[in-house]
Amino acid sequence: QTEYYRLFAFLNTCDEANVAVYTPDEQMKRASLFRQVREVEAGLKHREPKWLDLMRAWERQVRDDQLAWKVVRPEVDASGGQKHYLLDDGSVLAAGYAPTKHTTDFTVKSDLKTITAVRLELLNDANLPLSGPGRSIKGLFALTEFRVTAAPADNPGARKDVKVLRATADVNPPIKELESIFDDRSKRRRITGPIEYAIDGKDETAWSIDVGPGRSNVPRKAVFVFEEPVAFPKGAVLTFKLTQDHGGWNSDDNQNNNLGRFRFSVTDEPNAVADPLPAHVRAILAVSPEKRTPAEIDAVFGYWRTTMSEWKEANAKIEALWREHPEGASQLVLQAQDRPRETHILKRGDFLKPGTAVAPGVPAFLHPLPKDAPPTRLTFAKWLADRNSPTTARVLVNRVWQAYFGTGLVATSEDFGTQSDKPSHPELLDWLAVEFMERGWSRKELHKLIVTSATYRQSSRVTPELLERDPQNRLLARGPRFRADAEVVRDVALAASGLLNEKVGGPSAYPPLPGFMLLPPVSYGPKTWQESTGPERYRRAMYTFRFRSLPYPALQAFDAPNGDFACVRRSRSNTPLQALTALNEPVFMECAQALGVKALTEGGATDGDRLTYAFRRCVARKPSAEESAELLTLLKKQKERFAKPGAKLPAGVTSADAAAWTVVSRVLLNLDETVTKE
C-alpha cells in the first residue's frame, strides 16, 4: 500500500490546467500584432532618447506608493453548493458545482482597531479556465454587488451594514451587454462595466475585468472605501457578501460567471485606492534596475508609456491593435505545480482521511530508480521505459496486437496483474517486446513487423473443425476477423463514398447531432453545437467533438466508450440499433447518396459495371454472380419506384437513377463485410 502511494506521488504534483491555444492562422496574427506593438514602442523610444531616465524617475515616484494592507483569512462559505478552498496565502479557490445566481458570505476577524477599506484581489490559478481569475468558460467573472457587514470582535452578534462610499479598480472596462450564454430568460438588459457597478445596488449591472482576448486573464484588484471607518477597540468581525447574479438560467460550468480565486485584505489608512500598476509590473519594480532582463524592462515600459499623455496617439494605436487579438480556444494540459503537493497514504482510499506522508518511489521488487535522479515525472517516465522494466514493452506490444487481431496475446489488455489472463503465446509476447525495444521503441517498426508476418497475412476463412476447436482464434490458425471499431465504421463509409476529408490535425468537427440531446434532461445543461458544413463535416471520426457527459450517438451505437474514463479494451456488440444507425443517420445517408452518384458518374456505362465499381469500393472485391443478381434486381425495383424530380444532379443522371443507386449503396455500406476487418 505504501509503494502504491509512493508511485502515485510522481503524478500527484500536477494541475489539470486549462490554457489558451491558437490555430496556425491565429498564431501568425498574434505574431504580427506583437511585432507591430514592438515597432510602435521602438518608435517612441527612438523619438525620446532619454526614455530610460524618465521611466526610472517615474519608478522612484511609484515604487513606494503603496498602502499597508493586511491579508485576512476568511471562514469558508459552504452555502449554495459551490465549494471553496482556503489556500496557504489566504486566498479562496472556488471549485465544484457552479451556481449561476448566488451570494456567498465570507467572515473574517481583524485585530485592527480601525478599518477604512477592504481590498479584493482576483488571482490566477491553474485549475481555473484559462487560469482565471474567474470561473466562466473564458476565465472571467461578473461581480454584481459587493456588500459588507461589521461587528465588534467581542460581540459578533451585533452586526450592522457598512456603507461603501466609493470603489476603485485597476481595470474598468467599458459598458458591455452580457453575452448570450449568460441569458437568464428574464428579458432584462443586463450589462457589465466599471467597478462602480459593484456598489450601485442594481441587479442588472456588474463589474467585469473583460478587456478583450490576450489581456483579460491576469490578476486584478478592487478597493472598497467605507463611508465611515469601522472602529472597535478589540478588533472587528467583517462579513463580505459577494453577489454573483450575472450567470445564465441553468447552473452549470458553461453558464456560470463566478469569481474563481480571490483574497481579502484590510487597511486603516485613509483615502485608499486600488494600485493601478499590474501585478507583474509591481513585482518587477521590486527588482533592482541593473538586474532586470530585457523582457522585464519592456514589460515596465509597456505600462509606463500608458501614463504619458504626450504619447496618447501611439497608445491609442496599440490599443486598437490589441482589439484584433484572436480569442483562440481552451485546451486541457497537464502542468507541473510550482510547489508540489504532499502525498499521503489515504485510509481506505478516502481522500478526506490522509495518513502518513510518502515520498515518490517505485516498488522495491522492481529495478530501482537511477541514482541521484530527481523525483520527477520525467525520472518516472525514464524508469518506465527502461529495458529493465518488465511490463511496459509487453503492455504496449499487446495493445498493438489487440488492434490487429481483435484480442491481445493477453486477452485482459487492461490488466497485467495477478488476476489477468495468461498470455496465449508467452514466448511470442516476450520476443515482440524485446524486438520493440531493440528497434528503438518504434511503433512504426512494430506495426510493420506484425502486418508483414505470415500469421497476420493468413486467410480469415474458417473450417467447421477449426471453429469447433478454436472459436476465438486464440491459436492463431487463421487471420483475424472482427467488426471494426466505431470510428472506423464511420470512416469506411466516408472513404467508400469519396466524402472522407483526409486532413490531419486541426480543430474538432461537429457532424449532425439530434438537437434534443443538447438540452435537459438528456444533457444536464444546454450545450452549443455548431454543425460543421462542407469538408469539415466529413473529417475522420476521431476528430468528432464529444462531451464527457454526452457521447456522440452514432459512435456509441457501435460501442465507442464514454469520455469520462480510460478504456483499453472495448466491448463489441451486434445489435439492431447499429443497423438503424448505419441506414438512417444523416452522414451515413449522405455517404450512400454520394456513393450512388459516384457509381453513376465514374462506375462505367452499364449497371453491372457500376455495381462492381461500388461493390469494390465497399468490400475490396468483385461481387459474386448471386450477389450481383440480387443487387441488380433491387436496383431495377427502385428505379421503377422513384419517378419524382429531384435536386440538382450531374449531367445525364436522373433523380430516379440517383435515388435507386442511393438505396443500393445503403445496402452495400451496411453489408457485414463492409464493416468487418478480415
Query: What is the pLDDT, as a whole number, of residue 644?
Result: 57
* Three-state secondary-structure class, residue 17: strand
Instruction: Determine if residue 511 is left, alpha or beta; phi over 0 gives left, psi from -120 to 50 gives alpha, anything else beta.
Output: beta
Nearest Cα to Cα of residue 44 among 305, 297, 303, 299: 305
Q: Are the CB atoms for 39 and 318 separated by under 8 Å?
A: no
Find out whether 491 and 675 touch, Cβ atoms under 8 Å: no
DSSP class of 68: -
212 and 20 in contact (C-beta within 8 Å)?
no
User: Among residues 660, 658, 601, which one has the least CA distance to residue 632?
Assistant: 660
pLDDT value for 65: 76
Low pLDDT (below 50) residues in the chain:
none
- CA gap 254, 661 in Å, rounded: 44
Quick one: CA torsion of 32, 38, 39, 43, rounded to 10 degrees? 170
Contact assessment for residue 85 and residue 234, using Cβ atoms and an 8 Å cutoff: no
Spatial CB neighbours of 370, under 8 Å, sequence gap ≥ 6: 379, 382, 383
By DSSP bridging, strand 92-95 and strand 482-483 are unpaired
| Cα 37–Cα 22–Cα 215 angle in degrees, nearest 5 | 45
Burial of 471 (0-12, 13-18, 19+ CB in 10 A): exposed
Q: What is the pLDDT of residue 261?
A: 97
Place of cell 522494466: 389
**What distance in Å separates the CA atoms of residue 246 and residue 256, rounded to the nearest whole number?**
8
From the number of C-beta atoms within 10 Å of its C-beta (0-12, 13-18, 19+), residue 498 rates as middle
What pLDDT score was predicted for residue 14?
87
Please answer whether residues 58 and 304 qualify as being in contact, where contact means their C-beta atoms are separated by less than 8 angstroms: yes
587 and 535 Cβ atoms separated by less than 8 Å: no
Using an 8 Å Cβ cutoff, are 118 and 222 in contact? Answer: no
Cα separation, 416 vs 180, in Å, equals 50
**pLDDT on residue 646:** 53
Cell of 359: 515520498
DSSP 8-state class, residue 371: T
Strand partners, 120: 222, 264
